[in-house]
Amino acid sequence: MNSINGEKMEDTYKSIIQVDDLSLWYGQNQALHNVCMDIGEGRITALIGPSGCGKSTFLKTLNRMNDLVQGVRIQGTVSFEGQDIYSPQTDVSELRRRIGMVFQKPNPFPMSIYDNVAYGPRTHGTKAKARLDEIVESSLRASAIWDEVKDRLKSNALGLSGGQQQRLCIARALAVRPKVLLMDEPTSALDPISTSRIEELALQLKNDYSIVIVTHNMQQAVRISDDTAFFLLGELVEFGDTERMFSQPTDKRTEDYITGRFG
């Protein structure tokens, strides 16, 4: 597997996002180099690599959150369900509805738990109270936090613990019925117990959503992901089945990284 970048040798799956020859610059600084990757539907794809390797940058190209950065320039294509998301016809708001995102630091809005979850549906035009109630409940259930908050939906979300806040953020993302969930180091700010709850949750959600997760924690990638992509200096070094990659990495740099020789 010499041209590791992109082609996967292991089991075949249906892809939901195809990234082709993607390069990205922040001003003069090239942050991604010709990345090709097929992200599988109904699978968990982990993005690993040392800090500054471009994995978070790559994640943010998938829902165009990089558009918000000044002086960013992107080349190549990212197709979601066959549509180039960087084409001028793309409705960015709709794209971000269909590709949800969970951030590194839990960031619930400073409003009630209910309003946090209802924010997305309201933004996209759902006004009926009964329908909102339904969405809020199902989203909170799906993110395994319903039982903890059902009696205090009207209280401020900032009163929740960090782990609960992060699950609330997941519920908020699910409330707009996305197809894909992007998670940017969702557990790095959490304690081990909260972390394992988020991991369990990710495994459950995989049945209904495709998940791309950036993680610093290689054990986490092993525990939950189906596929792993290893980034180094903005380059996709190796991409493949998680089990295979961690047992028999094909690239020397991958091996060095996963055995802890750097990073």
Partner 1 sequence: MHGVFLACGLLTIGFVLLITVYLVVSGIPAIHRIGFFKFMFGTKWASTAAEPSFGILPFILTSIYGTAGAMLLGIPLGFFTAVYISKFAPKAVRNVLMGAVELLAGIPSVVYGLVGMLVIVPGIRTVFGLPDGASLLAAIIVLSIMVLPSIVKVSVNALDAVPREYEDASLALGANEVETAFRVAVPAARSGIAASVVMGVGRAIGEAMAVMMVSGNVANMPLLSKGGLFESVRFLTTAVASEMAYSAGLQRQALFSIALVLYLFILLVNAILNSILKKGGGK
Positions in the binding site for partner 1 (CB under 8 A)? 63, 65, 68, 92-97, 100-101, 103, 105, 107-111, 119-120, 123-124, 156, 158, 169, 172-173, 176
Task: Kindly give the residue spans of alpha helices, DSSP state H, lying in 83-209.
Answer: 92-98, 113-123, 129-142, 146-149, 162-174, 192-205
Nearer to partner 1, 53 or 180 (CB): 180
* E-assigned strand segments in the chain: 15-26, 29-40, 44-48, 72-80, 83-84, 99-102, 180-184, 210-214, 227-232, 235-241
Write the CA distances from 65 to 6, 47, 118, 260, integer angstroms: 23, 17, 21, 31
Q: Minimal distance in Å, beta carbon 175 to partner 1?
A: 8
Least separation in angstroms between CB 11 and partner 1: 31
Give min distance, CB of 89 to partner 1, in A.
16
- Contact by Cβ (8 Å): 47, 58: yes
Encoded tokens for 257 = 């990284």
Nearer to partner 1, 52 or 110 (CB): 110
Residue 207's CB: how many other CB atoms inside 10 A? 7
Q: From the CB of 242, what's the least distance to partner 1, in Å?
A: 26
Q: Which is nearer to partner 1, 12 or 93 (CB)?
A: 93
CB of 200 to partner 1, least distance (A): 23
Q: Of the two residues 165 and 242, which places its CB atom closer to partner 1 in the complex?
A: 165
Q: Looking at beta carbons only, is 38 or 115 nearer to partner 1?
A: 115
Nearest to 21 by CA among 88, 69, 86: 86
Which CB sits closer to partner 1, 72 or 111? 111
Q: By the 8 A CB rule, do 76 and 21 touch?
A: yes
Least distance in Å: CB of 76 to partner 1? 22
User: Contact, 238 vs 245, CB < 8 A?
Assistant: yes
